[in-house]
Amino acid sequence: MRLTLPHKKIRLHLILILSGLFFSTASCIKSVDLSEGTLIEDAPVYLYPFNNEVQEVTTEIIIKTNISVSAKQPSCEIPYLKYNKSWLFMITQDDCKPHAYSWTWAAINGKPLTDRYYYNASQLLWGDLPPDIWYLGKTLGYTDGAGNEIRFAPTTTLSADWEQMNDKVNILLNYEKNYGRFGMKSMLVWNNVREMLNYGWGIAFHNVNIANETNESMILQQLPVAQDSILKHLNGRGCKMLAEPDGNKTYVNAARKYPPIQTMTAQTGAVKLYPFKVQDDLHHTLIERWFNDSPEHFKPTIEEQLQKPKEERMAICLGVHGTNAGWVKLLEWINDNYGKDGDDSVWFPSQEEYYEYNYYRIHGDVKVELVDEHTVKLTVHLPSTEYFYYPSVTVNLKGLKMENIASVETDNTVSGLSYADFEDGIMMNIDCRKHLAEHAAHFVEQYERDKSNASNKTDALYFVRMLKDSERKRKLLDRIQ
């Protein structure tokens, strides 16, 4: 469904207010002649503080029951896929393409789409958009099994050691003489990547900027240069994934000698991933992905896999370069048939998140103890390595049902919590991200600054609903409602 909205002009007093809210004191309005447009200086957008994420998580959850649990003998486990989903779908978008932001990310998150132009994060923030924008009218995702939306999260590759990622964006409000500022840039700019990471996307190395890409030593020397650029521009957020470029196995060989890289994907010489058969942590496993210019090509493959028992299903791992309306239709089809508007069977994380979740499943520890006749204690330990950013798991607790639970108490390590009946027990989705509440507050503040933008409210609710029940969550919801 395509919804079109007229372009709204922004008044000068609103521009002045927003300039104080969004930009540093060094940023300023270059011109106030609205007949020629108002030029706003580009500046970094907000980014979740990944550099200060929690590591080596250990937490305890106390479950009070209204029945005697002494005879129940509850047990627990981390399932193969998060939220107990029955199949895995992943996409890696290569070559640091601008399409990853203004097509893929925009479609998933209910943002404006444009057929003729491209826009960037800071332009979206200011409402400086192309004249042909349209909307899907919804976001794309699945649920956590307890009624909360989780949006699709692909991976984008970065060209971190190329200068083009530093290109400045022109934000020119109310200027309709031409729309050259919405031309396609040669690469994603850093602000776009920052915003994509805020919504759960992953990042990966791809080509590095060297003269000879068949020289393993040169690649190995350049990877830390690219990593330093990523750390600098993403406030300490590092990269641990390689998407092999051009079938060049020299990159794979170099990556296996560069410790920060832990997970990889390639289209040849790689391993087909069967999630329900994985018995190791997949460290340095080269996961197979497939390319095809027609997104429709993949629908029969998905349908064929879903005819099989979940234990026999192969993960659907795709690679893509530039995306377009055809790819948006594929993502919408997955949402409508297998996501939150369908049977809700798909898990669509970044490969980084899948790698971490599987690592927790293999190396983590969950155990359940009976404290007294009516109290169960669940202890969860999630070990981590360098550049881990997704301290979140699903734990299946067998022997109890929702109707048996009187209350659930967590310590401060747990920031997000949801639970629901699942098979012969309950599933508990436990999120220990350190700054999840502050992250949600950012989107509430963004909504409060511009309540006319319906997407701002949708985002605020989306991030607040990730939080565990608390007074802080209730206060944030009150500010939205």
With CA atoms as reference, report the closest residue to 166 among 204, 128, 192: 192
Residue 408, phi then psi, degrees to nearest 5: -130, 130
Contact at 8 Å (CB) between 376 and 407?
A: no
- Which one, of 128, 129, 127, 95, lies nearest residue 114 by Cα? 129
Residue type, 413: T
Tracing tokens 């990310």 back to the chain, one arrives at: 105
User: Which residues are paired to 379 by β-bridges?
Assistant: 60, 367
Pairing of strands 171-173, 155-158: unpaired
State the CB neighbour count (10 A cutoff) for residue 358: 23
109 near 138, Cβ under 8 Å? no
In whole angstroms, give the CA distance from residue 146 to residue 160: 38
Report the top-level CATH class of 84-168+183-349: alpha beta
- Residue 339: C-alpha distances to residues 48, 128, 420 (Å): 26, 32, 18
CA nearest neighbour of 261 among 390, 360, 352, 393: 352
Q: What is the pLDDT of residue 12?
A: 36
Q: How far is it, in rounded angstroms, from Cα 481 to Cα 478?
A: 5
pLDDT of residue 1: 54
- Per-domain boundaries in the chain: 55-78+364-431, 84-168+183-349, 441-481
pLDDT of residue 70: 78
CB 80 within 8 A of CB 277: no
C-beta of residue 306 within 8 angstroms of C-beta of residue 337:
no
Q: How far apart are the first and last CA of the chain?
A: 27
* Region for residue 200 given its phi and psi (left: phi exceeds 0; alpha: psi -120 to 50; beta: otherwise): left
Exposed e or buried b for every residue in 145-182, given b needs 16+ CB within 10 A? bbebbbbbbbbbbbbbbbeebeeebbbbbbbeeebebb
Q: Please report the pLDDT score of residue 216 as a whole number.
A: 98
Length of the chain: 481
Digit-by-digit pLDDT tens for the chain (481 residues) are 555 444 433 333 344 334 444 433 333 334 434 456 799 989 999 999 999 999 999 999 999 999 998 777 789 999 999 999 999 999 999 999 999 999 999 999 999 999 999 999 999 999 999 999 999 999 999 999 999 999 999 999 999 999 999 999 999 998 998 999 999 999 999 999 999 999 999 999 999 999 999 999 999 999 999 999 999 999 999 999 999 999 999 999 999 999 999 999 999 999 999 999 999 999 999 999 999 999 999 999 999 999 999 999 999 999 999 999 999 999 999 999 999 999 999 999 999 999 999 999 999 999 999 999 999 999 999 999 999 999 999 999 999 999 999 999 999 999 999 999 999 999 999 999 999 999 999 999 999 999 999 999 999 999 999 999 999 999 999 999 8
Residue ranges of E strands in 78-117: 87-93
pLDDT of residue 7: 41
d(CA 16, CA 20): 7
